[in-house]
Structure formats: C-alpha cells, structure tokens
Structure 1
Amino acid sequence: MTLLILGLILWIVAHYFKRLAPDLRASMGNPGKGVVALLIVVSVLAMIFGYKWAPFIPVWFPPAFMVHINNLLMLVAFFVYGMSATTGRLRGKMRHPQLTAVKIWAVAHLLVNGDLASIILFGGLLAWAIGSVILINRAEPDWKRPKPGDAKKDILVVVITLVMFGVVAGIHIWAGVWPFPG
C-alpha cells in the first residue's frame, strides 16, 4: 500500500509542479520537462505495482449491476478524452476534456471497486483532477473557446472511442480482470 500511496503523491507533485512553482519549473528549461516526464513514468509504475501488490481490504461491496454503469461511463470517458484532440465541431465544447475524462474514469472505477487500495488510487486521482481544474482556472481564468471545425472529424472521435474501449478491455482481460458482466 505504501508504494501505491507514494506513486500517487509523486504523480500529484509532478503534475502540480508547473502550477505551484512556475518560476522554478521555467528556470529548469527543457531538461525540466524530461525530469517531470520521468517522475510521471515512475509514479505510474509505482501506482500500478503498488495497486497490484496492495492487500485486498474490503470497504464496501459494489452491486453487480455497477459493472454496466462502469462500462457506460468508460465509453463516455474515452469519448470526452478524445474531444481534446478533435478538430471537429466538438472542439471547444468543454474547457478541460482530459481532466473531465479522468474524473469520469475515476468515478466509474470507484463504483465497481470497493477495496481500500481502489479507493485510495481512484479517489486520489479524482481529487488530483478536481484540484488540477481549480489550479488551472485560477491561473488562467480567461479561456478562449476554439472555433468548431468540420463535423466529420467528430465521427473519427466516435470510432477511436470504440477502438480504445476495446483495446483497454483487452488489456484488462489480459491482466486477469474481466470487465464485462457475466
């Protein structure tokens, strides 16, 4: 559990560094980007292995139907995340699509995982995403909404959403977690 918590803390510190210490981060130049990227990779590995190795301590017992809600929310999360990269009509509909997708992802996983390690991991990343939105909005209160593009590009986001959902479901199956209701 310690490795999981350390990974989560490292993730938060690495991501908040630019917002909380902008002058220090700027003084590091391009090598600083590499250091932050390395810290993020290390934090992800620590969270993955910390979660895998954490003891299973049940806190609550999610009902089976939550798997359906989780899968629906995951489709929404992939779609919302994809909105950040689209040049279609959806561009600019939401200020923080990636962070919103992380929030949806975290809530979806909290609905189907009732153990302490899951609550720490997904709850911690949910708190990080909420905090990130607050920090960004305070630092940059004026957001210039991008102009919408071609609607055909939005169809591509739907296709990518479905493909990514399939890939991630496959990774879960490979890792021994069946993501679909029995």
Structure 2
Amino acid sequence: MTLLVLGLVLFLGIHSLSIVARPTRDRLAARLGVTTFKLAYSVVALVGFVLLIVGYGEARLDPTVLYAPPEWTRHLTMLLMLIVFPGFFSTYFPGRLSDVLKHPTLVAVKAWALAHLLVNGTLAAVVLFGSFLAWAVVDRISAKRRPLPSAAPTFPRRAWNDAIVVIGGLAAYLAFALWLHPAWIGVAVMGG
C-alpha cells in the first residue's frame, strides 16, 4: 500500500500544482525553462504512475475488503464507462461535445473513478479511485477560479470531430472492455 500512496502523491501532486501553487509553478517553469519544466513534470508524473500501478497490483494480492458491491453495479459501471473514452477523445478533437463537457478530461476521470468505486470494494481500490475522483472534483472547482492554462495540443476544430469522438471513443471502449482490460488488468469486464 505504501507504493500506491507514494505513487498517488507524486502523480496527483504534480498534477495539482495548478490547483494549489499556480504562481510557484509558473515561477519554476520560468526559472527552469518551459521545456526543462515539462520534462521534469513528465518524469515525476511517470514515476508516480508506475509506482501507483505497482502498488495497486501488490495491494490486490492481499486485499482488505471494505464492502461487497452488489452485482448490478457492474451494469452501472459499464454505462458510466461509456462516457470515459469519448470524454478523453473530445479533449483532443474539439467540437460540440467538448463544448458541452467544458473540461472533458476531468469528466472522463470522474466517470472512470466513480465507475470503478462502484465495483471495487477493497481498501486499495477506494484509495486509488477515491483519490482520483476527489482530485478531479477539486481540479474542476479550481478551474473556475484560475486562469486558463495554455491549451493542450489538439486537432483543428472540424465539423466531423464529434463523429470521431463518438466512433473512436466507442471503439476504444469495446477494445478495452473485450480485450485490453482482461489482458492488462487481469479482470474480465464482459462475461467474466
């Protein structure tokens, strides 16, 4: 559990600089240079991500069960996950859907975390998914009060971007649900 918590502190901590210390973040970026700052930011995020994956994997070997989710939550989880992949896609393919979602990545993270809290009742799952859910809620509230960051690289705004978001998002959803989740996570999503 220690690696999981350390990974979360690094990963969510570096992603929280804009929330809690925007002026410090900006000064650090100016002092180091934007490229060096982004490289350091990426390294910290990557190390945190690896640690939280390894830590969660280790915690799954000897789980502490907090609650036993009812079977019907699997269906609600599948429904919530339908939001996740199109949400991520709409971050990079601006269109009407990204306008509606306003902060599509945060919407996707919140849906992903809530969906996984519904079907995972272990302490490690609550720590992992609860942390991501809380972070995304705080980041969304904070986004209303801080200046907009420089825009992430996106594809040009086009009329067909919404179709790309929906079709690509649903294709990614099916690929992950049918093949990637069982292969990478070791948990069958459909029929298991």
Q: TM-score, normalised by structure 1?
A: 0.88
Q: CA deviation at 1:106?
A: 0.3
Q: Is the 8 A contact 1:89 1:150 kept in 2?
A: no
Report the residue type matching 1:168 in the other structure: F
User: Among residues 21, 28, 31, which one is paired with 1:24 in the alignment?
Assistant: 28
Aligned residue number for residue 39 of structure 1: 44
User: Among residues 173, 177, 180, which one is paired with 2:187 in the alignment?
Assistant: 177
Q: What is the distance in 1 between the residues matched to 2:135 and 2:182?
A: 27
Q: Is the 8 A contact 2:91 2:105 kept in 1?
A: yes
After alignment, is 101-110 or 156-165 more displaced?
Answer: 156-165
Runs of 5+ in structure 1 lacking a partner?
Answer: 142-148
Aligned residue number for residue 120 of structure 1: 127
User: Tell me, what secondary structure is at the counterpart of 2:99?
Assistant: coil
Q: CA deviation at 1:151?
A: 4.3
User: Among residues 67, 71, 82, which one is paired with 1:64 in the alignment?
Assistant: 71
Q: TM-score, normalised by structure 2?
A: 0.84
Runs of 5+ in structure 2 lacking a partner?
Answer: 149-156
Aligned residues: 175
Provide the identity percentage.
37
User: For the structure 1 residues 134 and 5, does the alpha-carbon distance in structure 2 shift closer, same or farther, using more than 3 Å as the test?
Assistant: same
Aligned residue number for residue 106 of structure 1: 113
Deviations 1:23-64 (A, max 9, x none): 223322111110110111111111111000013000000011
Report the residue type matching 2:46 in the other structure: V
Report the residue type matching 2:63 in the other structure: F
Q: CA deviation at 1:86?
A: 2.1
User: Among residues 145, 164, 168, which one is paired with 2:176 in the alignment?
Assistant: 168
Q: CA deviation at 1:140?
A: 2.2
Q: What is the distance in 1 between the residues matched to 2:36 and 2:163?
A: 38
Aligned residue number for residue 5 of structure 1: 5
Report the residue type matching 2:3 in the other structure: L
Aligned residue number for residue 153 of structure 2: none
Report the residue type matching 1:159 in the other structure: I
Aligned residue number for residue 14 of structure 1: 14
Deviations 1:133-163 (A, max 9, x none): 233222128xxxxxxx554321111111122
CA RMSD of superposed structures (Å):
1.8
Q: What is the distance in 2 between the residues matched to 1:171 and 1:57?
A: 26
User: Tell me, what secondary structure is at the counterpart of 1:139?
Assistant: coil
Q: Is the 8 A contact 1:64 1:181 kept in 2?
A: no
Q: Is the 8 A contact 1:18 1:25 kept in 2?
A: no
User: For the structure 1 residues 89 and 136, does the alpha-carbon distance in structure 2 shift closer, same or farther, using more than 3 Å as the test?
Assistant: closer
Q: Is the 8 A contact 1:68 1:180 kept in 2?
A: no
